[in-house]
Amino acid sequence: MVDVSLAAIPFYFATMGAEAAWHRRHRSPGNVSPGDYERNDTLTSLAMGIGSLVVPFATRPLMRQFELGSGRWVRPALVVTAGAAFTAVAADAVVRAHGVAPGEVGAAQGETGIARGSITDGRRSDGLAPSGAPLTRRERIRRFARRVGGSAAVAAIAGTGAVVAGTLTNRTTSHRLWSRRILPDWGDGPAAAIAAVLAWDAIYYWNHRIQHEVRYLWAIHVVHHSSEHYNLSTALRQPVAEAFGTFVPYGLLALLGARPALIEQARGVNLVYQYWIHTVVIGRLGPLEKVLNTPSHHRVHHGSNRRYLDRNHGSILIVWDKLFRDLRGGGRTSALRPDEEHRNLRPGEGGGPRVPRHRARRGASTELVRPDRVRGPRTRLGP
């Protein structure tokens, strides 16, 4: 069966060219639109798109080696994970045992800050301690243990994650679960194809949503939100590290009676549909806004306005967002004022440069694209 998403590649390039031409014709002197094409940004999007096609050829066989019961690297990974976990716990115990002694003023009082209690090149910069005072032996041990413990904790989490992701991914493939299906075969007719697309869409909604709400999954998905522009090329910014994530498996559809070929076809339809909604050229689409995920809805998803962050996660249908109270409507303003609550990002808010205000086509939702949301989703850890 032909992969729909690959067969559409000529369509992608043709429509990106047409969109770029449209923006050139409608650009007002001195104004910047988030839909403008910029050479380096577009090349980056194309490179990410190619990477998302090529990298899985390496990551899929790699993750098969981490499947419990059959993977050759499972045992070494578990041994390393156990050792790293023990090291992290021991290092934490050392840190606690070598805390600041009674009456001692040291870096521990301000470890969470930079201006107070920070340590640089073996010297203290704590405002309560003598400037340039050398670290005590207790502080040096504590500092070393914290570094070792932090690295060990990362190794333990990575090892566990590799085994969990490899096992989940390989044991829930559509071909494996098809042989264990619990419902009758759906067949391969039009009704079965439509049902597969709708079922895939429902699972996609939850996978997309948890990628915005779980921190390590956001690290995988954030590349899609990394552009400072918002046009059709943005849709090509697909993650390359999905093999390392844990998601609701689409193979569950095979368990329910969907043929593996239908599931793969549904994946392609889903990807192609998502492509055309990454644009500011198309405005609201009337009654279709109530059912489908449209460019207006998806501009909200990519918006920088605070109340729009982590909203509108649907792919084809917007009804999932309505059903689970996740929908936000798009605005019709031609510009956003930086002094408002939902202001343009400034340096330090999300880690990226400020996004310029813009003018856009009348009737279109014009939420700005957040350039780099490195601070993560709503469920943040720490300040």
- DSSP symbol at 120: E
Identify the pLDDT of residue 82. Answer: 97
- DSSP symbol at 124: E
Identify the pLDDT of residue 31. Answer: 75
How many Å separate Cα 11 from the centre of its chain? 26
How far, in Å, CA of 135 to CA of 355, rounded?
A: 43
How far, in Å, CA of 61 to CA of 192, rounded?
A: 30
Beta strands in the chain (DSSP E): 119-120, 123-124
Its pTM stands at 0.76
Let me know: does 200 contact 344? Beta carbons within 8 Å. Answer: no
How far, in Å, CA of 81 to CA of 164, rounded?
A: 12
Identify the pLDDT of residue 366. Answer: 40
Identify the pLDDT of residue 133. Answer: 66
How far, in Å, CA of 253 to CA of 259, rounded?
A: 8
Let me know: does 288 contact 216? Beta carbons within 8 Å. Answer: no
Name the CA dihedral angle for 327, 332, 334, 338, rounded to a multiple of 10 degrees: -40
How far, in Å, CA of 68 to CA of 1, rounded?
A: 31
- C-alpha dist (Å) from residue 94 to 26, 165, 178: 64, 32, 51
Identify the pLDDT of residue 304. Answer: 79
HEC profile for 241-293? CHHHCCCCCCCHHHHCCCCHHHHHHHHHHHHHHHHHCCCCCCCCCHHHHHCEC
Identify the pLDDT of residue 268. Answer: 94
Question: Length of the chain in residues, anyone?
Answer: 383
Q: Domain residues of the chain, as ranges?
A: 4-62+187-323, 74-155
How far, in Å, CA of 228 to CA of 85, rounded?
A: 39
Angle between helices 56-64 and 137-171 (to 10 degrees): 100
Let me know: does 366 contact 308? Beta carbons within 8 Å. Answer: no
Longest dimension (CA), the chain: 79
- CA count, 13 A, side-chain hemisphere, 360: 28
Quick one: which of 209, 277, 278, 275 has its CA closest to 247?
Answer: 209
* Burial per residue of 353-366, b for 16 or more beta-carbon CB atoms within 10 angstroms, e otherwise: ebbebbebbeebbb
DSSP string, 327-356: --PPP--S---TTSTTPPP-TTSSSSPPPP
Sign of CA dihedral 151, 157, 160, 165: negative
Q: What is the pLDDT along the chain (383 residues), one digit of tens a residue?
A: 778 888 999 999 999 999 999 998 888 777 777 889 999 999 999 999 999 999 999 999 999 999 999 999 999 999 999 999 999 999 999 988 877 554 444 444 444 443 334 444 444 444 444 545 677 888 889 899 999 999 999 999 999 999 999 999 999 999 999 999 999 999 999 999 999 999 999 999 999 999 999 998 999 999 999 998 999 999 999 999 999 998 999 999 999 999 999 999 999 999 999 999 999 999 999 999 999 999 999 999 998 778 888 889 999 999 999 999 888 775 433 222 222 323 233 223 333 332 322 323 333 344 444 433 333 344 333 33
Query: What amino acid occupies position 39?
Result: R
How far, in Å, CA of 51 to CA of 241, rounded?
A: 10
How far, in Å, CA of 366 to CA of 347, rounded?
A: 21
Quick one: which of 86, 192, 210 has its CA closest to 149?
Answer: 86
Identify the pLDDT of residue 330. Answer: 56
Which element (helix H / strand E) includes 6? helix 4-7
- DSSP symbol at 70: T
